[in-house]
């Protein structure tokens, strides 16, 4: 028998929360592993359908959980599907490569961005796996720090590839702030011709 209720409490970092059944009976514990489909992250106040199960201690918990008629927000779809971020990424890579060729920046900077991007990509992948398995998550501040120091291209690719961190508006806002700050700092360095600081001739 399936029941319906609202997800009234959810801790996305730890991957669990509580469902308040329709009718106002006692809340039911739910874990991220109980969602067969991982294409959409749970969020508070969404309607869910579920089966009642018992854990090893005999306590009720939700199993085989599904979203009940909750449409995907348009804003979230735009964040995940828009081509604009990838266009901006392509422009940035070309501009960075051109700056290195002209001598405004040493090629070591290009290498630094590549290494930082690979690390950021791996961190996003690990956080995605942890989110789906209910393990300890990578702090958002750590993800933002790697984006700020130059790993944002890899972070952006991971977001697109794994559909991770694309629906949380507050995270996206801070992420693009780190991108803007990083690009602004790089622009100041290139304009001032301070490539010798990074080992250029």
- Distance (Å) of CA 153 to CA 66, 90, 124, 157, 171: 33, 9, 12, 6, 16
DSSP state, residue 69: S
Cβ–Cβ under 8 Å, residues 164 and 124: yes
Q: Which CATH superfamily is domain 2-67 in?
A: Nucleic acid-binding proteins (2.40.50.140)
Question: What would the two tokens of residue 87 be?
Answer: 């266009």
State pTM to two decimals. Answer: 0.59
Domain with CATH 2.40.50.140 in the chain: 2-67
Q: Render each residue's pLDDT in the chain as its tens digit; 201 residues.
A: 788 999 999 998 888 999 999 877 789 999 988 887 767 788 888 999 999 888 878 788 999 899 876 444 444 444 445 788 899 999 999 999 988 888 888 899 999 999 999 999 999 999 888 876 667 778 899 999 999 999 999 999 999 888 888 777 889 999 999 999 999 998 888 777 654 444 444
């Amino acid at each position: 028998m399936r029941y319906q209720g609202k997800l009234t409490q959810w801790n996305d970092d730890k991957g669990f929360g509580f469902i308040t059944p329709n009718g106002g009976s006692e809340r039911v514990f739910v874990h991220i592993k109980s969602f067969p489909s991982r294409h959409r992250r749970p969020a508070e106040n969404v309607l869910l359908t579920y089966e009642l199960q018992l854990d090893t201690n005999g306590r009720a918990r939700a199993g085989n959980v599904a979203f009940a008629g909750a449409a995907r927000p348009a804003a979230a779809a735009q964040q995940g599907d828009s081509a604009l971020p990838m266009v901006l990424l392509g422009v940035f890579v070309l501009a960075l490569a051109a700056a290195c060729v002209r001598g405004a920046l040493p090629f070591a900077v290009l290498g630094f961005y590549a290494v930082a991007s690979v690390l950021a990509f791996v961190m996003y992948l690990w956080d995605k796996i942890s989110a789906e398995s209910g393990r300890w998550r990578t702090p958002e501040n750590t993800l933002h720090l790697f984006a700020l120091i130059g790993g944002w291209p890899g972070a952006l690719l991971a977001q697109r590839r794994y559909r991770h961190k694309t629906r949380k508006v507050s995270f996206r806002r801070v992420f693009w702030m780190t991108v803007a700050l990083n690009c602004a700092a790089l622009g100041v360095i290139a304009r001032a011709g301070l490539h010798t600081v990074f080992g250029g001739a």
